[in-house]
Amino acid sequence: MTEAEIIRGCKANDRRAQKALVDTYSPYLYGICVRYAVDRAYAKDCLQESLIRIISKVDTYKEQGKFKSWMAQVTAMKCLELIRKEKKHRSEEVEDQLNISTGSHVFDKMRQEEVMLFMESLPDNYRISLNMFLVEGYSHKDIAERLNITEGSSRSLITRGRKMIQEAFNIEGTNVRSIVKKNPTLRVAK
C-alpha cells in the first residue's frame, strides 16, 4: 500500500490499512520510542500506545507536511506523556552544548554508539531533554513547553547532560549533536 492509501484507509477505519501502517512504520517509530524509554520493553509499550494514538487520531492529520514527521511528533509526545504518568518529572538546571572529539570514521562510529548507550543510562530528565534537543532538534522553548519546565531549566539540563557525557568519555572537541545525528536509526525526519 502507498502512504496515501494507508492514510485514506486508516481514516476510513480499514483494518488492512491500519495493519499496513503498523507494519510499515513500526520500526521507524520504535527507534523514537527507544530514545525516550528507559528500556526496550518500555519502548515497546510506548510504541504500542503511540500506534493506537496515531490510528485513532489519523483523521486530524491535515496532509500538510510529511506524514512520517507527524507520526514522529505524535510518538514523541505519547512517550513523554507515558513517562510523566510513570514518574513525576523533576526538572534540573542545565546549560548549552557538550563537545566530543572525533577521529577516524571507525572511531566516530564507535564513539557514537558509546554515547548513545551512555545516554540510555542517564536519568530521565537529562536523557529526554538531550534527546529532544540533540536528536529531535527541538528548541529550548519547545522543550520547556512540552516538559512543563522553564527555558532556563531546559538549557541547564542540556548543559549538565552534555557535561556528563564529556566527563564519562574524558573528551573535548566536536559537537555531540554531530555524533548523535550521524546514526541514521536515531534521526527523525523533519
Domain spans in the chain, listed from the N-terminal domain onward: 3-86, 105-181
What percentage of residues in the chain have a pLDDT greater than 70? 72
CATH of domain 105-181: 1.10.10.10
Distance CA 139, CA 181 (A): 16
DSSP string, 13-37: T-HHHHHHHHHHHHHHHHHHHHHHS
Q: What percent of the chain has pLDDT over 90?
A: 24
How far apart are alpha carbons 93 and 31 in whole angstroms? Answer: 27
pLDDT band at 16 (very low <50, low <70, confident <90, very high): very high
Of 98, 116, 129, 117, the C-alpha closest to 181 is 116
Same topology for domains 3-86 and 105-181, yes or no?
no
Separation between Cα atoms, residue 13 and residue 24, nearest integer Å: 17
Looking at residues 31-38, what average pLDDT do you find? 85
The x, y and z cell numbers of residue 148, run together, are 512543563
pLDDT at 179: 46
Three cell numbers, residue 22: 503498523
Q: What is the pLDDT of residue 113?
A: 66
133 vs 86, more confident = 133
* pLDDT, mean of residues 31-40: 84
Domain 3-86: CATH architecture, name and number where available? Orthogonal Bundle (1.10)
Q: Which of 135, 124, 128 is nearest to 183 (CA)?
A: 135
45-98 pLDDT tens trace? 999 999 999 999 998 888 777 899 899 989 988 888 887 776 543 333 233 333
Lowest mean per-residue pLDDT among 84-98, 118-132, 139-153 = 84-98
Q: What is the pLDDT of residues 150-187, one digit of tens each?
A: 988 888 888 888 888 777 776 554 455 544 544 444 43
